Structure 1
């Protein structure tokens, strides 16, 4: 069973991270006003981006209680941090006045035209990842939830053509893959999958599934897509406490374990650019961002 200590995250914003997202994918407002740089913003991923989708699930991976959210005016909301998530901060930089609502909050027509957050704590690319801690919304289900949203936007705007023209201007961001390692591949009870796949083979398995998921996102109208690589997860408190570091700051073997995934993700993005010249895809280097942020990060421990 996964303890609540396994789901600890930080609230931070890197200027480099935001610069990459805004410049690479979003068109700036010509007049410098607070009009959002994109008309809508859709968020997919795991607990780094989750804003409350796990609140009503039967899972240990939910944080709608103190001390989470201690720096938010509303208090605990289901965010796995003391304050804003990186996805929230990107939305603010893009000019959105309010946080993008979680899908689980049943946003109304006005809200979904601005965007929806589908991210779910403990979720991964693979359906089974993170399920040892209870329910979550894996990435494939997040996409099915997005299909529901797209259908509603078609109804609101009157036609699929109008809806896809609108959706093509929006920003889509996804942070996935962390839990396929933390809460799947490197779990003590996951010897079967480690025996079946070496690290490079497991990365290939993830990218094959991820490729199908991102292609589906394109089919649903996405044309400006940012995909975050896996960060140095060997530096998370839970893995340091569980695996030990032999005197090093982090569990270096785990940090090396995810390198093949990030390498293959970069190659996937290059392929997507060739396959879909009418779309923009960007790689967000989570390892470099984590290095820039340094010791100023604030962790919530429970």
Structure 2
């Protein structure tokens, strides 16, 4: 029995190692992305909103060296996951280029500024809130149905990989946006976290109803340690204790909610990605990852370059690979690569109940 189990483990390991190298693009699964600025790749370019990243120096290290709407100096997390899937990056759903066969690659519905709650990000005006992103997903499926028919559309969606990233803005652009915000008067922090988790569960259940069967759900990063919070709420140059407390309350409850959802469904549909732990490693010991700093943003102004967005007038570092943060809130491309490495191969401390390499290997033999 032990010999048989060992052989099976080696077989699975072999599949895990091979999956990144033997991906036939024709057989690659579709990829759908929902969420906020951490994963938006250009939808807000098509909206009348202040939450935009479509001007330099955003995109300075992107293959075209042009701003694309990604809140990054180069590639973002969805781009890097697409590479692991062996496919081209998904296009923004609002892009006029997303037609015909490109629809079969998937779509990115994310919009900078949004949160789990509809009242998050109201200061950004016209953004695609989560309920609207899910409506667009339904609309997308109808468009694909017209190309490949009902049965193949269901298969494409069921076999797709889905990434959803939201929650951070519900703290920094809602609860803590201003002193005595509406939500902070309505809820004590522990109760607000419980409310967010219950509302997030509704979104995930809706995704399941719409056909999603493999969903990566990221938690928040180390909210209190990003340059913006060091500049605005940090004490003695340290992280914001209150925002770190919020992340510490939120992330474990998100994992527990996902575990309960999977138990109700009877299979591992939702995968919790502990991005707080992933980012904590390079924030607390940046030199171990080749960074010179995790406190100062590469692009910005004010203390820690943490005030406002990156603009052509901002301070700009000459070597982005030495900075864990690109701007006041968003990781650099190099930091995104570290996060995606953990999504691919991280232990259950980072990915629960399994990492993406294991998912791809298991799904390839089912």
TM-score, length-scaled by structure 2: 0.70
* Mapping of residues 170-189 of structure 1, within 5 Å: 170-188=160-178
Match of 2:279, SS state, is: helix
Mark the CA change 1:86 to 1:197 in structure 2 (over 3 Å): closer, same or farther. same
Q: Distance in 1 between matches of 2:139 and 2:169?
A: 25
Deviation for aligned residue 1:27: 8.0
Matched residues, number: 275
Preserved CA contact (<8 Å) 1:125 1:177: yes
Larger radius of gyration: 2
Q: Over the residues paired in the alignment, what is the CA RMSD in angstroms?
A: 2.2
What is the match of residue 222 of structure 1? 212
Deviation for aligned residue 1:48: 0.5
Match of 2:79, SS state, is: helix
Question: Within the alignment, does 1:83 sit opposite 2:74 as a pair?
Answer: yes
Q: Distance in 2 between matches of 1:108 and 1:263?
A: 39
* Deviates further, 223-232 or 27-36: 27-36
What is the match of residue 142 of structure 1? 133
Match of 2:108, SS state, is: coil
Question: Within the alignment, does 1:300 sit opposite 2:313 as a pair?
Answer: no
Q: Distance in 2 between matches of 1:214 and 1:83?
A: 29
Preserved CA contact (<8 Å) 2:20 2:85: no
Mark the CA change 1:256 to 1:121 in structure 2 (over 3 Å): closer, same or farther. same
What is the match of residue 253 of structure 1? 242
Preserved CA contact (<8 Å) 2:40 2:69: yes
Preserved CA contact (<8 Å) 1:60 1:133: yes
- Note the alpha carbon deviations across 1:50-92, whole angstroms, 9 max, x for none: 1101113222210100000000122100000100001111111
* Mapping of residues 112-261 of structure 1, within 5 Å: 112-159=103-150, 161-188=151-178, 190-248=180-238, 250-261=239-250
Match of 1:223, SS state, is: coil
Match of 1:113, SS state, is: helix
TM-score, length-scaled by structure 1: 0.84
What is the match of residue 289 of structure 1? 278
